[in-house]
Amino acid sequence: MASLLRKRVKGEHARVGFVELFFDLVFVFAITQVSHGLLAHLTPLGAVQAAMLLAAVWWAWIFTSWMTNWLDPETVPVQAALFVLMGIGLVMSASLPHAFQETGLSFALAFVGIQVGRTAFMVWAMRADEGLRRNAVRILIWLTASAVLWIAGGLAAPEQRLWFWLAALAVEYASPALYFFVPGLGRSRTEDWTIEGGHMAERVGLFVIICLGETLLVSGATFGELDWSSAKVWAAFISAILSTVAMWRLFFSQAHESASEAIMHAADPGRVARRAYTYSPILVIAGIIVVAVSDELVLAHPSGHVSMATALTLLGGPILFLLGTAVAGWAIWRHVNWTRLVGCAVLATGWLVVPWTTPLTLSIATTIVLMAIGVWESLRPPQV
């Protein structure tokens, strides 16, 4: 049987296949579910649960993106595997709103099915490259160990479930940092993680587009149900659109375009990709989702008192986004983006004026900060 590994051409970037884009549609649904779940349970516990579910959704997606960076998605077996993962992913996504109630076991089994099933397929598909195959075996062992905690949490009482799943996430998120060390098999070497930087940058960019699109969908759906004769509603809607456009501009800047080149020419591309694309984007994605929640809150109640939950989402979403982009830049170039960190500080000071402002005013102010950073960086591009 012919090799299922990607055929790499020196100096050329591997393109993202249509089947990969098709696969991503499942995660549009998943991100929407997480966003709506946070909005419905805007409490400290609800925020922790939403963060945990987002971390799981991201982990399932990024591990699959690593798979298609190594394997050729144009081959029939890889496409068939992606279609199976799509089906399981739909079950996982559908179970997200009640994962801490009656659908906990369904979520756990679907998530484990994605993680363990995909990795078992990788072990078989990578048999032409012993280094990658052994790496897949190590990953499979780690994910099988965490699967016990996922399923135990699904079987546990709802009030105990979070602790099992946080432990499972800790195991999974620690595994790449520990190089998937397994007694008897040793640990992986990032030098052996053949990585196509352009493909990985494009894949992560597409996931960010999914999240930004979900933000626009939430704003549009909420706006459509409101009184269009209200100037405040229109102002809130325009602020929501501009904040989303500003986040798009800040993420898809010159730095994003040069990231794939930096990875391609790095001495150890696997190590850089692990830092920049496996861990760092989770803050960016969390920020976008929180901004989506804040947009819906402001559209529904543009006037009046700013509740603590509204203030936290209005200020916390952009801070998470800016911090995430700064961390990603540091992960690739070891360069501190002071402009975005100053933006975080300015947004944090907004907490001081919360008692004297309205949701709409605070929304406009945070949008102005995001746009100002974009304009500043356009005039004085950051060094990368």
Domain-terminating residue out of 192, 210, 227: 192
1 inside domain:
no
Which candidate, 66, 73, 57, 64, places its Cα nearest to that of 16?
73
Residue 113 in contact with residue 81, Cβ under 8 Å?
Answer: no
Residues 177 and 281 in one domain: no
Residues 173 and 260 in one domain: no
Please give the pLDDT value at position 258: 64
4 inside domain:
no
3 inside domain:
no
Per the listing, tokens 């605070």 go with 362
Residue 252 in contact with residue 205, Cβ under 8 Å?
Answer: yes
Q: What is the pLDDT of residues 168-203, one digit of tens each?
A: 999 999 998 898 999 988 888 766 667 777 778 888
| Mean pLDDT to the nearest integer, 113-121 | 97
384 inside domain:
no
Distance, CA of 102 to CA of 85 (rounded, Å): 23
Residues 167 and 205 in one domain: no
The number of distinct structural domains making up the chain is: 2
Q: What is the DSSP string of 151-174?
A: HHHHHS-HHHHHHHHHHHHHHHHH
9 inside domain:
no
Domain that holds residue 355: 197-379
221 inside domain:
yes
> What CATH number corresponds to the domain at position 229?
1.20.1410
Distance, CA of 278 to CA of 204 (rounded, Å): 9
Please give the pLDDT value at position 9: 60
Residues 24 and 124 in one domain: yes
Question: In sequence order, which residues have a C-beta less than 8 Å from that of residue 10 and are 6 or more positions away?
Answer: none
pTM above 0.75, yes or no: yes
| Mean pLDDT to the nearest integer, 75-104 | 96
334 inside domain:
yes
Residues 242 and 262 in one domain: yes
Residues 126 and 31 in one domain: yes
Residue 41 phi, psi dihedral angles, 5° rounding:
-130, 65
Residues 183 and 206 in one domain: no
Please give the pLDDT value at position 152: 97
186 forms beta bridges with: 182
Residues 118 and 133 in one domain: yes
Task: At 46, list the tokens.
Answer: 């609800």
Residues 266 and 363 in one domain: yes
Say yes or no to pLDDT of 266 above 70.
Answer: no
Domain-terminating residue out of 192, 214, 237: 192
Residue 224 in contact with residue 353, Cβ under 8 Å?
Answer: no
Residues 188 and 216 in one domain: no
Residues 239 and 172 in one domain: no
Domain-terminating residue out of 161, 192, 223: 192
Please give the pLDDT value at position 206: 87
Q: What is the pLDDT of residues 2-34, one digit of tens each?
A: 688 887 665 556 678 889 989 999 998 999 999
Residues 260 and 126 in one domain: no
10 inside domain:
no
pLDDT band for 265, please (50, 70, 90 cuts).
low
Q: What letter would DSSP give residue 75? A: S
